[in-house]
Structure 1
Amino acid sequence: MNWTDERVETLRKLWAEGLSASQIAAQLGGVSRNAVIGKVHRLKLSSRGRATAAPARQKKATPASGGGKSVSRAASVSRSVTTSIGATALQQQFDAEPVARHYLRPVENVVVPISRRLQLVQLNERTCKWPNGDPLSEDFHFCGNDSAESGPYCTYHAKIAFQPASERRRSR
């Protein structure tokens, strides 16, 4: 679909009248809503915000000469709209700088276990399988302390690995 001068002028006219991109696409035919939005942005047409209050009606003076032309309804209604330039649909306005909040878990009853420094072949179903170090280095080992029956880690490493959902949400 090519944007001919005639179609561009029709787009400008319908956009100025306040029609939505979908309505303009339907009237032009053979063009999608997204194509209309893209062309509006490329033409840098003013975007129209939504009215914050009910539209206020104002009477517009008609020419005294009586030319026989009636004033269109769109011209006789004044709307309170916000205008913006460019693509601002996803832009957010903030009053102040955000404050980073760090929630720390209480450090009650936390005992860091001394690692038994087991190798992979020394692990069994009752040992903690928490890896320590770089697997490619010779110093790599596993925690090896007694693990709980419900998982692969000791009590300390299980608290690190399995955080409650509420704490994961807070840390994001």
Structure 2
Amino acid sequence: MDWTDDAIIRLRSLWDEGLSTAEIGRRLGISKNAVVGKAHRLDLPARPSPIRRDPATLSAPREPAPRRVSGPTLPSLAEPSAAPVIPAPPAAVTPKPEVLPVAAVTAPPVNRPARPSLVAAMTAPIRLAPRAPACCWPIGEPGTATFRFCGDPALNNKPYCGPHADIAYVRVRDRREDVA
């Protein structure tokens, strides 16, 4: 909108009447935000908040937050004398169970294939066979037992198979075709 002198004079008079910015916008045929922006640029007096507040219901000012403690808040571990010594509660004396030696059991050797060590198994790279990407077209109602995805082989660099890609990717028409 071009702000003509007449429109600015009308804006100032409606502003002085105390109308809302939305009502001024309706009367001038412009948006509320255009009214707010122009009023700000013209440095018109600020409007009271449209949220009506009863002064009696306003609460007392809040207390300031407690000050943060600067520096270490725990005792230093370097100085053992700085840490308070808390005596351990007296432990109930329980008799230790008697440990009996286990007799060595000799079993005949079993022919098992050698297993790789656990460390070697954890550090070896995992190689998975490459899988052909599957079509992600949803079939059925999500959340029901019959819901599934198509699963047919997907096209290269597309998440869908051929028939579903035809549905999902529609060629944008040239608007010049509609003119003729």
TM-score scaled to structure 1, two decimals? 0.32
Structure number with the bigger relative contact order (C-alpha 8 A, sep ≥ 6) is 1
TM-score scaled to structure 2, two decimals? 0.31
